[in-house]
Structure 1
Amino acid sequence: MPRPSRPPSRAWSPSIRSSRRSSLSCARDRQNYSRDVTTPPPSDDSAPVTPVDEVPGGTDLAEAAPGDVAPVRKRRRGVRILWWTLGSIVVVLIAAVVGVLVWSQLGVMAAEPDPLASVRADPAITITDHPEGIVLAPAEGESTVGLVYIPGAKVDPWAYAAKMSGVVADDDITVVITKPWLNLAFFDLRPLSTFTSLAPGIDTWIVGGHSLGGVKACQLAPDADALVLFASYCANDLSRSGLPVLSIAGSEDGLSTPEKIADARHLLPADAQLIEIPGAGHASFGNYGPQPGDGDPTISDAEMTDVLTALVGGFATSVAP
C-alpha cells in the first residue's frame, strides 16, 4: 500500500525574503517619518528655548528623576507657606491696630460742663488751646514755675482744668495739660520738651500725671526738675534720681489704692513726700463724673480743689530756685 504523500515543505524563496525585507523597511520609514514630524530640526537663526519646567541641571520635569523634582516642589511649597504666613500676620496686625483705635475712642470720660465753664470765666486765668495741650496761665504776674500734667487713660484733658485752676490763679503756676495720643498716655512717645515749649520763659518744670498719666510722668521725670503723682505710682525706678517727688493719694481710691501706692514706694527717692487725702477717690482728682471700679468719695469738689492747690503750690515753692 503506497504511503500518503506529505505536502511539500515550505521553503524560503527569494520572493518571500524580499517581501519581508520590504515590510521591515516600510516600518522603519514610518517610524523615521513620525520622529521627523514631532521633532522639528532646530533653526539656526532662533535662540534656544529653555523649557518652563526645567529643573536645575538642565533636566525636564517630565524626564527628571523623582530625587531631582522633589526639591523644586518643596521650595515652591515653602514659598507658598511663607507668603500665607506673612499675609496672616499682616491681617492680624491690621485688626489689632483697628481694634485699639476703636477702643481708645469709645468710653472717653468727658469733662463736666459746669466746672469747666467756671474756669473759662475766671479772669485770673488765660487759656490757650494747642494741638499738643491746653495751657492755663496766670493772667497777671510773672510765672516762673510750670507743671506738665498728663491725663489718665481715656479721660478728657479738659476734665483737669478746674482742679488745677487754684494753682494757676493763686500760686502763679503755669499748667500745661497734655493731649495724649489715642487718649492713652502709654502710646504717647513725645518728649517732655514737646509740652514745655508751649510755655516759654518758665525756669522750673514739674511733670505730673493722674493714674496712667502718672506712670508716663515717671518716665519723663529725668528731664524735669520735680515729679508730682496724682493717684498714681511709678513703674520705673527713680529711687536714685535725686528728684523732689510729691505723691498724692486718696483714701477712698478703688483703682490706685493706697496699698498699691505703698507697694511701689521703693521706686521713689527716700525723701519723697507721700500724702493721703481723706475721703478722696480716684475720680476726685478730675471733674469727669464717677469712674467704674472707684470707691465712694466723701470729699466735695471744692474741698478737693483747695487741698490740691495747697499741696501742689507748697511743693512748687520748695523746688523753685
Structure 2
Amino acid sequence: MTILRQARRWALLLLAALLALVVVAGALLLAWSRFGLMEAEQGPLGQVVEDSGVSVTESSTSLILQPAGAGSSATGLVFYPGAKVEADAYAARLADLVTEQKMTVVIVKPWLHLALFDRRGLDTFTADLPEVGSWIVGGHSLGGVRACQVARDADALLLLGSYCANDLSERVLPVLSLAGSEDGLSTPEKIADARDLLPGTATLVEIEGASHASFGDYGPQDGDGTASISDEEMDAEVGAEVEAFVDSFG
C-alpha cells in the first residue's frame, strides 16, 4: 500500500508539473504574439468609424465593415491581415470597397496575430452573413498565403503584396494579385516567381510607387522599400482594380 500511495503521489506531482509547464508555455506564447505587433494608425481607423456610409461591427473574431443602410451586399470579402499586423490597420484601405462598391468586408482577427496559425474555416466568418451573395477571400503578405489555403471554399481570391505557397493552378478560380513596385518583402520578382501556382486566368497588377506597408495603415516595416504613393492614391488604385475584378466574374 505504501508503494501504491507513493506512486499516486508522484503521478500527481508529475501532472501538476506538466500543467504548470502548459500554463507557462501558454503565457509565453501569448506574450510573444504581442511582441513586435504592428498596431493600426488611429487616424485612418478613426475616419472609417466616423464615416456615415460605413457600419462597423467588432467581435472577438473579426472586424466587419458593411454599407450603412444599403441592405444586403452582392459580394463580400474575408480578409486575412499580414503577420503580426492588427486587423484594424486594413479598415481604411478597404473602406472604399464598402462605400463605393457596397461590399461587405470581414477583416479576420487571427489567432496569435498570425493567419497561418489560424485553422478556422471561412464559414467561421461568413456564417452570420447569409445575405451576402458571393465571397472573395483575400489577404496581405502571409495573410494572403492563408487565403490561398482556404480559397477552395470561396468564389474568388484577392492577394495584396502576397503569393500562394499551395498549388491552385488547376482550379477554376478568379484571382487578382496586386503587387507594389517598391515592396521590399513580397517583391514583384517573388510574386512573379510564384505565378505558376495560380490559375492561368489570374490577373497580376503592379502598383507603381507602392511598398509592402502601403496595403495597410500600420507605419513603416523593417525590410520594406520606400513608398512614393499617397494613402489616397493607394485607396483609389486598390478600389479601381478590385471593382474591375468583381465586374469580370460577378
TM-score w.r.t. structure 1 length?
Answer: 0.70
Structure 1 counterpart of 2:178, from 226, 232, 248: 248
2:135 paired residue number: 205
SS at match of 1:171: coil
1:113 and 2:42 matched:
yes
8 Å contact 1:135–1:199 — kept in the other structure? no
1:180 and 2:98 matched:
no
Deviation at 1:223, TM superposition (A): 0.2
In the alignment, the residues of structure 1 paired with residue 94 and residue 229 of structure 2 have an alpha-carbon distance, to the nearest angstrom, of 17
In the alignment, the residues of structure 2 paired with residue 118 and residue 147 of structure 1 have an alpha-carbon distance, to the nearest angstrom, of 20
SS at match of 2:100: helix
In the alignment, the residues of structure 1 paired with residue 149 and residue 124 of structure 2 have an alpha-carbon distance, to the nearest angstrom, of 15
In the alignment, the residues of structure 1 paired with residue 53 and residue 164 of structure 2 have an alpha-carbon distance, to the nearest angstrom, of 34
In the alignment, the residues of structure 2 paired with residue 167 and residue 261 of structure 1 have an alpha-carbon distance, to the nearest angstrom, of 24
Deviation at 1:217, TM superposition (A): 0.2
Deviations along 1:17-76, whole A, 9 cap, x unmatched?
Answer: xxxxxxxxxxxxxxxxxxxxxxxxxxxxxxxxxxxxxxxxxxxxxxxxxxxxxxxxxxxx
Quick one: which amino acid aligns to residue 174 of structure 2? Answer: P
Quick one: which amino acid aligns to residue 197 of structure 1? Answer: A
Quick one: which amino acid aligns to residue 113 of structure 1? Answer: Q
Deviation at 1:200, TM superposition (A): 2.2
Structure 1 gap segments, 5+ residues each: 1-87
- Relative to structure 1, is the Cα distance of residues 96 and 264 closer, same or farther in structure 2, using a 3 angstrom cutoff? farther
Structure 2 gap segments, 5+ residues each: 1-16
1:291 and 2:230 matched:
no
Give the 5 Å matches for 1:226-305: 226-305=156-235
1:196 and 2:126 matched:
yes
1:169 paired residue number: 99
In the alignment, the residues of structure 2 paired with residue 162 and residue 171 of structure 1 have an alpha-carbon distance, to the nearest angstrom, of 14
Cα RMSD for the two superposed structures: 2.3
1:102 paired residue number: 31
Quick one: which amino acid aligns to residue 195 of structure 2? Answer: R
In the alignment, the residues of structure 1 paired with residue 25 and residue 197 of structure 2 have an alpha-carbon distance, to the nearest angstrom, of 33
SS at match of 1:126: strand
Deviation at 1:92, TM superposition (A): 8.4
Deviations along 1:86-114, whole A, 9 cap, x unmatched?
Answer: xx999988776554332111121111111
Greater relative CO, 1 or 2 (CA 8 Å, sep 6+): 2
2:56 paired residue number: 127
SS at match of 2:38: coil
Identity within the alignment, %:
55
Quick one: which amino acid aligns to residue 225 of structure 1? Answer: D
In the alignment, the residues of structure 2 paired with residue 99 and residue 129 of structure 1 have an alpha-carbon distance, to the nearest angstrom, of 27
1:146 and 2:76 matched:
yes
- Relative to structure 1, is the Cα distance of residues 94 and 204 closer, same or farther in structure 2, using a 3 angstrom cutoff? same
In the alignment, the residues of structure 1 paired with residue 92 and residue 233 of structure 2 have an alpha-carbon distance, to the nearest angstrom, of 12
The count of residues paired between Structure 1 and Structure 2 equals 239
8 Å contact 1:147–1:206 — kept in the other structure? yes
**More divergent stretch after superposition (205-214 vs 124-133):** 124-133
Deviation at 1:313, TM superposition (A): 1.7
Structure 1 counterpart of 2:66, from 131, 137, 143: 137
Deviation at 1:314, TM superposition (A): 1.7
SS at match of 2:220: coil
8 Å contact 1:163–1:285 — kept in the other structure? yes
